[in-house]
Structure 1
Amino acid sequence: GVLLGGVPGVKPGKVVILGGGVVGTEAAKMAVGLGAQVQIFDINVERLSYLETLFGSRVELLYSNSAEIEAAVASADLLIGAVLVPGRRAPILVPASLVKQMRTGSVIVDVAVDQGGCVETLHPTSHTQPTYEVSGVVHYGVPNMPGAVPWTATQALNNSTLPYVVKLANQGLKALETDEALAKGLTVQAHRLVHPAVQQVFPDLA
């Protein structure tokens, strides 16, 4: 095993995060707090700039491409998949051939597993059997990770969603005209798919 923060005289563990959104950012905060060496990959330059203001030199920020990902993943102690493409399956960024290059005992956690996952060898697992090994690499693919702490997860979800529920209850469909977040979440209207990303997956229902 590897202590992510290292100890005096021993280098820290390396954490590679694919995706610099909310999940990737929070994962990076935890990893940095533990003292790990952290790399974040993303294709959004503006997001990378924001992360630079947030982390400074404590995190290495890289534009996502196959060559850079291959070099980073092969030497990672912990790989976190945090890729989100709203309404679509997550792209496969780590093929099985790359997993074989990872160190024995290294760990993959794919938060995008409920959207197909961004690691080819990873499939959904459960809280009762959360991990399995492929090529000596530990895979963790629990789709509902917050379910491990249900009371806390429920309170957090309630706090986040209640303002939207109240707005919809008071204003109905008019709430979508004044709230951009609600409007972006509209998927079906008048029995038809209206969300662009979902339309691409199910064009016959558009």
Structure 2
Amino acid sequence: MKIGVPKEVKQDENRVAMTPSGVMSLKNSGHQVFIETNAGVGSGISDRDYQGAGAVIVPTAEEAWAHELIVKVKEPQKEEFAYFKEGQLLFTYLHLAAETEVADALISNKVTGIAYETIQKNTGELPLLTPMSEIAGRMSVQVGVHFLEKIQGGKGVLVGGVPGVEPANIVIIGGGFVGTNAAKVAVGLGANVTMLDININRLRELEDTFPGKITTLASNEYNIQTQVMKADLLVGAVLVPGARAPKLVTEEMIQSMEDGSVVVDVAVDQGGSIESIDHVTTHENPVYKKHGVTHYAVANIPGAVPKTATYALTNVTTPYVLKLANLGIDEFIRKDSAFAKGLNTYKGKIVHEAVAQGLDRRYVELHTIFH
């Protein structure tokens, strides 16, 4: 199979979808990999590194896209829609529930859109989302703490406090991979940490993970309202695979926070879980103030640490790319139910139920059009 790896064009996105080791694995299995020049520079990978592993370097995005399988990091941007062609396989983070234009372009061009974030094992694990969730969770506290500094417009509190002065209150809504990794950093900094989740069994697990170091609460409107009001840093860490994030924090709750508090919504690429976040921000201009509260709404948080993020991502995506190239899409669907759940668009139809609901579009069961 011929595999194209274009340079990411989303603003401030420096990750790349393949490393030299991935190129070598594919090359050794008889496949060809075409990488757009300088695609890896933002992650510290040179064209020479890729060539040494057996890749063909192509000078333009058009040449990188001119292949059967395209492997990316982020959803295609408008300028990339022109490269779509019928039957093409696109393997990337798609987040289509919040990307109507991308979904429409994939459907109209009959591109098979396979989303990293919806590949799901029978256990519920999301193996290709997990490493980015780990990074985003840890960074949510890292960036939040930065914007709590007075010079950054924050209320001027030291997160861990000092003897005789209480630490900051960090409230994390969601106890999955994002929330757990946010808690690791928050606990390590000495904050007062409160975590909310709807799954009581998950809260028990979190108590065991952080014995005596966090407070856990059932996620309901009353508890969320109470905790948001006293949070110095609020982290939105909820996820419904493939679907839009539920709006759990209302505008009124945000208004109850003290001036200079900080909100980080990791779910912003799925529509966001915090009502007062009304637009996505970038790494270049990551925050805005609303109701006196600093809002951080960057949709590609791991893009700030591309060297770490690229290798963490490709550690888990490369085996899937290799299997897809070796087996072909139809055989891989038959053999791997987790991979089949990654299909969002197929033959011009939306074949993932949560994605269809998020877009308010017709859902078509995969088995009805798959032969």
Report the TM-score when normalising by structure 2: 0.53
Aligned equivalents of 1:177 and 1:31: distance in 2? 43
Q: CA deviation at 1:176?
A: 3.5
Q: Does 1:193 align with 2:350?
A: yes
For residue 40 of structure 1, give the secondary structure of its aligned residue in structure 2.
strand
Q: Deviations over 1:32-77 (max 9, x none)?
A: 0111111111112332232222112211111110000000010001
Give the share of equivalent positions with the same residue, in percent.
Answer: 55
Partner of residue 184 from structure 1, selected from 335, 341, 358: 341
Alignment of 1:1-206 (within 5 A): 1-122=156-277, 123-172=279-328, 173-201=330-358, 202-204=360-362, 206=364
- Of structures 1 and 2, the larger Rg is shown by 2
Contact 2:352 2:363 in 1 (8 A): no
Aligned equivalents of 1:92 and 1:49: distance in 2? 24
Aligned equivalents of 1:34 and 1:179: distance in 2? 41
Aligned equivalents of 1:178 and 1:56: distance in 2? 41
Counterpart of 2:191 in structure 1: which amino acid? A
Q: Deviations over 1:143-163 (max 9, x none)?
A: 111111222222221112111
Contact 2:350 2:362 in 1 (8 A): no
For residue 157 of structure 2, give the secondary structure of its aligned residue in structure 1.
coil
Counterpart of 2:300 in structure 1: which amino acid? N
Distance 1:180 1:43, change over 3 A: farther
Q: Deviations over 1:63-102 (max 9, x none)?
A: 1100000000100010001111122211111111111110
Q: CA deviation at 1:181?
A: 2.9
For residue 248 of structure 2, give the secondary structure of its aligned residue in structure 1.
coil
For residue 10 of structure 1, give the secondary structure of its aligned residue in structure 2.
coil
Counterpart of 1:184 in structure 2: which amino acid? K
CA RMSD of aligned residues (A): 1.6
Q: CA deviation at 1:177?
A: 4.1
Aligned equivalents of 1:23 and 1:177: distance in 2? 31
Aligned equivalents of 2:341 and 2:182: distance in 1? 25
Aligned length: 206
Aligned equivalents of 1:11 and 1:178: distance in 2? 55
Deviates more, 1:86-95 or 1:26-35: 86-95
Deviates more, 1:44-53 or 1:27-36: 44-53
Counterpart of 2:285 in structure 1: which amino acid? Q
For residue 187 of structure 1, give the secondary structure of its aligned residue in structure 2.
strand
Aligned equivalents of 2:163 and 2:264: distance in 1? 27
Aligned equivalents of 1:175 and 1:57: distance in 2? 45
Deviates more, 1:161-170 or 1:106-115: 161-170
Counterpart of 1:166 in structure 2: which amino acid? L
